[in-house]
Structure formats: structure tokens, C-alpha cells
Amino acid sequence: MAMIIASVNGERPWIEHPGLPTNGRELAQDVERVVQSGADIVHVHARSADGAQSLTASAVRETLVVIRAAVGDVPISLSTSARAEPDPDRLVALVRSWVVLPDLATVDVWQEGGHRYSGHCLG
């Protein structure tokens, strides 16, 4: 069975493309559009209030809650890229602090520490 996965915001900074969603409202609007266009899964990078990529529990919670409110039970994949947090120990601690979990998480297995937290991402 083929599935369409739409990556909505990526890890690029807003300055590279002014249409990049950087807050919850913009992200929810883009996710709604891609789901209406046929996406089965959405992949996002959580952002802090200033638009920077973030893996904090609050940024992840806010991102997931706003998307789920907009599109219901469409599976959400969340990035855990080292580009959001290059320190592997801090990255592991951040992922373990999540209370609201994504349906899927991408883990760059090449990144240092990736194997240590990948099991936690999905409970």
C-alpha cells in the first residue's frame, strides 16, 4: 500500500523561505492543506515561540496538540534531528522529557546518541 508523507516545514530557517510555517497556527493551516490534498502522514519539525527548531517538551506538546486539533487522527511524524540539538546527551534528555508523543519519529541513526532515545519516542 502506497502512502503519502508530507514534510511540512523541514529544518530550514524562516529566512530561507518566507512561506515556511514557524508557529502553531501556520503549521496547522499547512497540515490541513496537505491532508486535504491527500497526505496520509505529516512530518514536522517542532518550533519554539521564536520559530527556531526545538525538541523541548513544551514545543513538542504545542506542535502536536495544534496539529491534532486541526486534522484529528492523521499520524504525525516528528523529527529528532541533531540539527535541533547537537549535544547527544541533551537530545536524549529532551526526548525522554516528552509527555505528549508523536505517532512516529524520525531518528538519524548516524547521529551520536540516536540509538539511545529512539525507543522512547513512541512509548
- The end-to-end CA distance of the chain, in Å, is 26
Entry pTM = 0.85
Q: For residues 78 and 65, is the Cβ–Cβ distance under 8 A?
A: no
Digit-coded pLDDT (tens) for 44-86: 999 888 888 899 999 999 999 999 999 999 999 999 888 888 8
59-80 burial string, b = 16+ CB within 10 Å, else e? bbebbbebbbebbeebebbbbb
Q: For residues 80 and 107, is the Cβ–Cβ distance under 8 A?
A: yes
Q: For residues 58 and 22, is the Cβ–Cβ distance under 8 A?
A: no
Q: What is the model's pLDDT at position 3?
A: 92
Taking the CB of residue 119, how many other CB atoms lie within 10 A of it?
10
Q: What is the model's pLDDT at position 5?
A: 93
pLDDT > 70 fraction of the chain, expressed in percent and rounded: 88
Q: For residues 32 and 72, is the Cβ–Cβ distance under 8 A?
A: no
* C-alpha 105: how far from chain center: 8
pLDDT band at 111 (very low <50, low <70, confident <90, very high): low
* C-alpha grid cell, residue 37: 490534498
Taking the CB of residue 87, how many other CB atoms lie within 10 A of it?
12
| 79 phi, psi to nearest 5 deg | -75, 145
